[in-house]
Amino acid sequence: MMNAIVKAEELSCFYGIVLGLNNVSFEIPAGITGLVGPNGAGKSTLIKLITGQLAPSSGRLSVFGERPRNNPKLLGQLGYCPEREQLPKDLRPVAWLRALASVSGTPWRDTKAVAEKALIRSRLGKEHWKKRIGTYSKGMKQRVKLAQSIMHDPKLIVLDEPMNGLDPMGRAEFGEILRELNEQGTSIVVSSHILHELEFLCSGFVMLNWGRVLASGSQIDIRKTVVEWSDEISVRCSDPRLLAAHLQEQGLLRGFLADGQDLTIWVNEPESFLAHWPKLFSGCDCEIFEMRNKNQALSSIFERMTR
Ligand SMILES: Nc1ncnc2c1ncn2[C@@H]1O[C@H](COP(=O)(O)OP(=O)(O)OP(=O)(O)O)[C@@H](O)[C@H]1O
């Protein structure tokens, strides 16, 4: 890939014998990229590798062409927004950010401007600046954390599950802020265990599960992969032949096999089928007991990610 900003080659990271990431290779271009996968998939591990907090156990990872570990020059170009909340309840946001900027080497007289600019960019309304952070909503705290990560004007911001706990409106607003930062030239890597949360925001994804990359690339690339993996679907139901006829009438099937209460179907457009199956099954007088993809692992991931 031309101009990859993050490149992993056969990258592994183990915690003792626990597997964090297992031999993954992928590239992330400039733009907004989602790291998606269920809990324990390896998202935080990857984020900690990108931000130099962990060292690879084997393989290579480069960010803007350089190794992140023990690389202060590179780390100065990265912003990190951790999953955990580590904000002081009793401070007001400007005081907190000024302290951080000062610790990072900004001359004290400049810290006010730096802190305020970051709060404006992360869209924390000025009317809230006089309140203590402890009184803030989840969404407002996220904005303070974001401001914290962009004070030094990084080229890449990495955010670990920033949408967690936000309501749909809060997620949409936070997405807007990230999009605006990206339009101003900052690349963004953002993780979530819910694909749906990031679908509207990210141009590309790295999909992880059990420390492995299931798929990576643009939304279009990934959809193609998912389609290839899951065109065979098994259904246990009260009347397989009736259901097969119902689906066939709608032109959805390439083929089917009915055996007792088991129906195996090969669908033409798995992605759309899996997204709409309740609607497609409705109107058929057949009770559905269970539905599985040929690739079990994928079906559960797919379900969890697309829910
Ligand atoms: N400090 C650690 N010590 C031991 N094992 C760890 C440590 N951190 C993560 N792991 C393990 O590594 C694997 C990947 O975890 P990781 O936190 O990267 O996943 P994740 O996708 O970020 O999940 P979550 O959304 O739950 O944070 C899991 O099996 C996890 O238990």
- Of the residues 13, 15, 54, which should be mutated to test ligand 1's pocket, given the most ligand atoms within 8 Å of the CB? 15
- 11, 14, 17, 18: residue to mutate for ligand 1 pocket, most atoms within 8 A of CB: 18
What are the pLDDT digits (tens) for 174-227? 999 999 999 999 999 999 988 778 888 898 899 898 899 988 888 777 766 655
Mean pLDDT score, 272-289: 84
Ligand 1 centroid to Cα of residue 44, in Å, is 7
CA-proximal residue: ligand 1, atom 3 (nearest) = 15
Q: What average pLDDT does range 125-144 have in this prediction?
A: 95
Of the two residues 95 and 278, the one the predictor is more confident about is: 95
The predicted model gives 116-131 an average pLDDT of 95
Q: Please indicate whether residue 200 or residue 261 has the higher confidence score (pLDDT).
A: 261
Report whether residue 108 contacts ligand 1, using a CB cutoff of 6 Å: no
Average pLDDT taken over every residue of the chain: 88
| Spacing, Cα 28 to ligand 1 middle (Å) | 21
3-state secondary structure the chain: CCCEEEEEEEEEEEECCEEEEEEEEEEEECCEEEEECCCCCCHHHHHHHHCCCCCCCEEEEEECCECCCCCHHHHCCEEEECCCCCCCCCCCHHHHHHHHHHHCCCCHHHHHHHHHHHHHHCCCCHHHCCCCHHHCCHHHHHHHHHHHHHCCCCCEEEECCCCCCCCHHHHHHHHHHHHHHHHCCCEEEEEECCHHHHHCCCCEEEEEECCEEEEEEEHHHHHHHHHHHCCEEEEEECCHHHHHHHHHHCCCEEEEEEECCEEEEEECCHHHHHHHHHHHHCCCCCCEEEEEECCHHHHHHHHHHHC
User: What per-residue confidence (pLDDT) applies to 1?
Assistant: 59
- Ligand 1 pocket test: pick from 45, 57, 206 the residue with the most ligand atoms within 8 Å of its Cβ: 45
Domain 4-225 has CATH 3.90.700.10: no
Q: Whose CA is nearest to atom 26 of ligand 1?
A: 39
CATH architecture of 230-306: 2-Layer Sandwich (3.30)
Q: Is the pLDDT of residue 125 over 80?
A: yes
Q: Where is average pLDDT lowest: 45-54, 230-239, 241-250?
A: 230-239
Residues of the chain with CATH 3.30.70: 230-306
Instruction: Report how far ligand 1's centroid is from the alpha carbon of 56 (Å).
Output: 14
Q: Which of 12, 14, 36, 39 to mutate to test the pocket of ligand 1 (most atoms within 8 A of CB)?
A: 39
Q: Does any ligand 1 atom lie closer than 6 A to the CB of residue 246?
A: no
Q: How far is the CA of 24 from the centre of ligand 1 (A)?
A: 16
- In the chain, CATH 3.40.50.300 sits at 4-225
Q: How does residue 39 score in pLDDT terms, banded at 50, 70 and 90? A: confident
Whether the CB of 192 sits within 6 Å of ligand 1: no
CB 166 within 8 A of CB 177: no
pLDDT at 61: 97
Sequence-ordered list of residues with C-beta below 8 angstroms from that of 273, at least 6 positions apart, any chain? 233, 252, 267, 280
